[in-house]
Structure 1
Amino acid sequence: MRFSSLYSLAAAFHGAAAQIRGFNYASTLSNSAPAQQSDFNAEFTAAKNLPGTSGFTSARLYTMIQGGTTDTPISAIPAAIATNTTLLLGLWASGGTFANELAALKTALSQYGTDFTNLIAGISVGSEDLYRISPTGIENNSGVGAEPSDIVNYINQVRSAIQGTGAKGKPVGHVDTWTAWVNTSNSAVVDACDFLGMDAYPYWQTTTDNSISSANATFFSAYDATVGQAKGKPVWVTETGWPVSGPTENQAVASTQNAQTYWSQVACSLLGKVNTYWYILQETASPNFSVVSAGDVSSAAPLYDLTCAASSSGASAQ
């Protein structure tokens, strides 16, 4: 992808929206215990002070519900207020629990008021629900998904819920894989969204050349394809990254060196131009996409150099 097309898309954003830099954050810890406010505080603070960066000041959430509860708002919200971290809220839209997600959103709007709503960067209704009902998602045992009509219905419910609150006018969209967005059977979801959240991982694209040498071009090919189906609406990069460890997938080798290369080529092309939520600050899974070692993030150094040289800013696949 050429810089000119990336720049043109960034120009479609307004003000600070084009500068959003964040990570994805799970609602549970590596031991499956629910993350508490202190955990989110530590992560959000560490992200804002990452060496080599100008600070990652936004967080993408997958759910509005605090782990272990039915519909209590997630403790990431008071942590965000305490650390002045903006939020891409997530409402889980598969599995029949959306009513609880909506209840948690309404409670949070009432409980935290403008301290909360001033930090809302956007609201994502669902995450990869359309992918999970696709042939590929079913083949990969990806779990329960949701139909396009369900997502549209849920988006409309969120729009109704935020009317008359400080969140009125905040962008409402949906996050899914780039393959779901280019599937025209999902076009009704595109119509319902203010923005499209795109997840793309060249590491997982095992039916093509997915080596690190091709990863930059592969990512931006997916990005361009999503933009082409977005009907002029902004495309946010809501998940991408390269694992520092884990199994080799076709030609994709998980290593710190390759994660560094992917960051230098992809992250450094996106940051400051397109709303970007990198995957992930810390985790213990395999493959492991962590930017810092899991554990005490307050003292953790990045696993690889996060500096973006001035000469590389805006560079992307040709």
Structure 2
Amino acid sequence: MKLTPLACALVAGVMFVGVAVGYPFDIKRDLVTEVVWTTVTLGNVIVYVDEQGVPYATTTTTEATGLATTVAETSSAILPSSTPAVPSSMLASQSNPATSALPSFMLVSEKDVVTSVVLEHKVPTPVESGAPAQPPAQSPAQPPAQPPAPSPTPETKEAGPLNFRVPLGVTYDPFMEGGCKPATQLSNEFDAMYRDYGIVRIYGNDCGLIPLAVQKAAGQGKKLMAGVWLPNQRIEDVVNALREAVVKYAGGRWDVISLVSVENERVLEKTMAVSQAIDAVREARRQLRDAGYGGPVGAVEIPSVVVDNPALCEPEVVMVNVHPFFNRDQTAQNAGRTVREQVNTVVKACPNKPIVVTESGWPHEGQTNGAAVPSVENQKAAMASIGREFDGNLFFHNAFDSGWKKDWEGSFGAERYWGVIS
């Protein structure tokens, strides 16, 4: 049977016992320790011996490589007749309590022991009777074995915080017919939004909105969902604006920003491919991490697009817009259940990922879409129904009416009338 390095290590600890048995006790002989520089791989058992070479304890360690050698010497010695032979059962009884049994071993010649491995003799530290012996401190040349570093999480499997939650929020855009709203109006509208909601979603840095948005959120102890309006805006420009605003108005604390989107329904519109959306998420995440932001970064699509394109489940938090008004079979009073059912389809498509509804609501004016009727009363009923299903992780769309918008085929003449704050 081939001798393993572990067996050699154990035999080295009981070397003198083997010699005592094989030779008369009263005959002098030369004991030679050769200088051998050997690099071996040890198993998980270390045997500690005293100055007479008698094993006194064992312990279990993690794997280590490389053993220090002893200084070569030639001496004349008599193995004392009082040196007892130590059976392997005794060694096992003195081992670390975590070690249930020592591996079996066999005695070999003195030459085999010396040329295979050299163990340093250490003077044992006295311990109380019955207390387990402590291993000697490891030398600087042999640092403690470290657990392997965890493998980096692949981009496609980045786990999201399952307990991620933001309060009920509202979406906001800074436009009016003909251009940007005046600074005073922007400031007043942020005050109105933060009176009613804990978080506001902005879509980018149009009208230079980011500094004001961060200032208002930080000043009122509220949160902000930031965004990059791709492809119209550049990721680096938005990240730089966020960095400067966070430093100036939030004391450098990025936790004022809860999440960041990079696009809004561009895959649905077929102006971006799924791969482009994911690449944008990764690039924005990289730049935001470098800037100091550690929260979720994602793309925003509707549930059916996410279900049909599982790659959109990659971000830490999956973001979807859900508008029950566009389901002609649903009433305002049933809006909350409709949103919940749509979210459940995304939960199944993206298991173990939190879902945030980044737009949902009901228009207060426009044309009827089957059972979905726009009116002030139905808007209130829809919001109440949605509120019964969601107490967070949802943004009502939109904070104020958007008179600058134009209707499109399928908007039922309601595009300008989604404002929920009067």
TM-score scaled by length of structure 2: 0.54
Counterpart code for 1:92:
W
Matched-pair contact (CA < 8 Å) for 1:37–1:78: no
In the alignment, structure 1 residue 88 sits paired with structure 2 residue 225: yes
Task: Output the CA distance in 2 between the equivalents of 1:120 and 1:36.
Answer: 24
Instruction: Say which of 60, 66, 78 aligns to 2:206.
Output: 66
In the alignment, structure 1 residue 158 sits paired with structure 2 residue 260: no
Instruction: Say which of 282, 285, 303 aligns to 2:400.
Output: 282
Distance 1:66 1:77, change over 3 A: farther
Task: Output the CA distance in 1 between the equivalents of 2:245 and 2:390.
Answer: 35
Distance 1:166 1:177, change over 3 A: same
Matched-pair contact (CA < 8 Å) for 1:199–1:239: yes
Matched-pair contact (CA < 8 Å) for 1:36–1:76: no
Distance 1:202 1:66, change over 3 A: closer
Distance 1:158 1:76, change over 3 A: same
Q: What are structure 2's unaligned runs of at least 5 residues?
A: 1-160, 404-412
Q: What are structure 1's unaligned runs of at least 5 residues?
A: 1-11, 50-54, 134-144, 294-318
Matched-pair contact (CA < 8 Å) for 1:61–1:88: yes
Task: Output the CA distance in 2 between the equivalents of 1:43 and 1:73.
Answer: 14
The Cα offsets for residues 34-82 of structure 1, whole Å up to 9 and x where unpaired, read as 2455333322221233xxxxx412111111x233x7xx95643333334
The Cα offsets for residues 183-213 of structure 1, whole Å up to 9 and x where unpaired, read as 1xx222212x11111111111123xx13335
Instruction: Say which of 366, 376, 379 aligns to 1:246.
Output: 366
Shift of 1:263: 1.5
Task: Output the CA distance in 2 between the equivalents of 1:254 and 1:268.
Answer: 20
RMSD (Å) for aligned C-alpha atoms: 2.3
Q: Describe the SS at the equivalent of 1:121.
A: strand
Matched-pair contact (CA < 8 Å) for 1:243–1:255: yes
Distance 1:19 1:148, change over 3 A: closer
Task: Output the CA distance in 1 between the equivalents of 2:395 and 2:201.
Answer: 7
TM-score scaled by length of structure 1: 0.71
Aligned to 2:301: 176
Distance 1:48 1:149, change over 3 A: same
Counterpart code for 1:159:
R
- What is the total number of aligned residue pairs between the two structures? 248
Matched-pair contact (CA < 8 Å) for 1:66–1:75: no
Shift of 1:32: 3.9
Aligned to 2:214: 77
Normalized per residue, the structure richer in helix is 1
What is the identity percentage for the equivalent residue pairs of Structure 1 and Structure 2? Answer: 20
Task: Output the CA distance in 1 between the equivalents of 2:262 and 2:206.
Answer: 17
In the alignment, structure 1 residue 256 sits paired with structure 2 residue 396: no
Select the structure with the greater relative contact order (CA < 8 A; seq sep ≥ 6): 1
Task: Output the CA distance in 1 between the equivalents of 2:181 and 2:258.
Answer: 21
Matched-pair contact (CA < 8 Å) for 2:333–2:378: no
Shift of 1:19: 4.4
